[in-house]
Structure 1
Amino acid sequence: MTALEVGRSDRRTRTVTQRDIALFTALSGDHNPIHYDVEVARASRFGSLVVQGGVTSGLLNALVAEQLPGPGSVFLEVSWAFLAPVRPGDRITAQATVTSVRTDKPVTSLATRITNQEGVVVLDGTAVVWRDPTVAAATDDAQPLSAEKRRSPGNHHPEGNSNDRHH
Structure 2
Amino acid sequence: MSSSARDVWGQTINGKPHVGATARRSRRTSMKDIELFSEISGDFNPLHYDEALAEASVFGKLIVQGGVISGILNALVAEELPGPGTVFLDVSWRFVKAVGVGEEIVGEVEVLSVRDDKPIVKLKTRVANADGEDCLVGEATVYVAALRHLSQARRIAVA
Report the TM-score, using the length of structure 1 for normalisation: 0.80
* Per-residue CA distance 1:8-62 (angstroms, 9 max, x = gap): 0000110110110001001111010000001111111101100000000000000
Q: Which residue number in structure 1 is paired with residue 49 of structure 2? A: 36
1:9 lines up with 2:22 in the alignment = yes
* Equivalent residue runs for 1:53-72 within 5 Å: 53-72=66-85
Q: Where in structure 2 are there 5+ consecutive unaligned residues?
A: 1-13, 153-159
Superposition RMSD on alpha carbons, in Å? 1.5
Counterpart AA for 2:86: S
Q: Which residue number in structure 2 is paired with residue 157 of structure 1? A: none
* Per-residue CA distance 1:71-90 (angstroms, 9 max, x = gap): 11000000000000101111
SS in 2 for 1:133: coil
**CA 1:120–1:137 in 2, change beyond 3 Å: closer, same or farther?**
farther
On the 8 A contact 1:96/1:112 being kept in 2, the answer is yes
> Cα offset for 1:2?
2.5
1:130 lines up with 2:143 in the alignment = yes
On the 8 A contact 1:41/1:49 being kept in 2, the answer is yes
> Cα offset for 1:97?
0.2
Counterpart AA for 1:128: T
Taking the aligned partners of 1:115 and 1:136, their CA distance within structure 2 comes to 36
Q: Which residue number in structure 2 is paired with residue 108 of structure 1? A: 121
The structure with the larger Rg is 2
> Cα offset for 1:134?
2.5
**CA 1:64–1:34 in 2, change beyond 3 Å: closer, same or farther?**
same
Taking the aligned partners of 1:126 and 1:44, their CA distance within structure 2 comes to 29
SS in 1 for 2:147: helix
Taking the aligned partners of 1:103 and 1:128, their CA distance within structure 2 comes to 14
Between Structure 1 and Structure 2, how many residues are aligned? Answer: 139
> Cα offset for 1:124?
0.3
Taking the aligned partners of 2:40 and 2:28, their CA distance within structure 1 comes to 19
1:21 lines up with 2:29 in the alignment = no
Counterpart AA for 1:118: D
**CA 1:136–1:73 in 2, change beyond 3 Å: closer, same or farther?**
farther
Percentage of identical aligned residues = 49
1:47 lines up with 2:60 in the alignment = yes
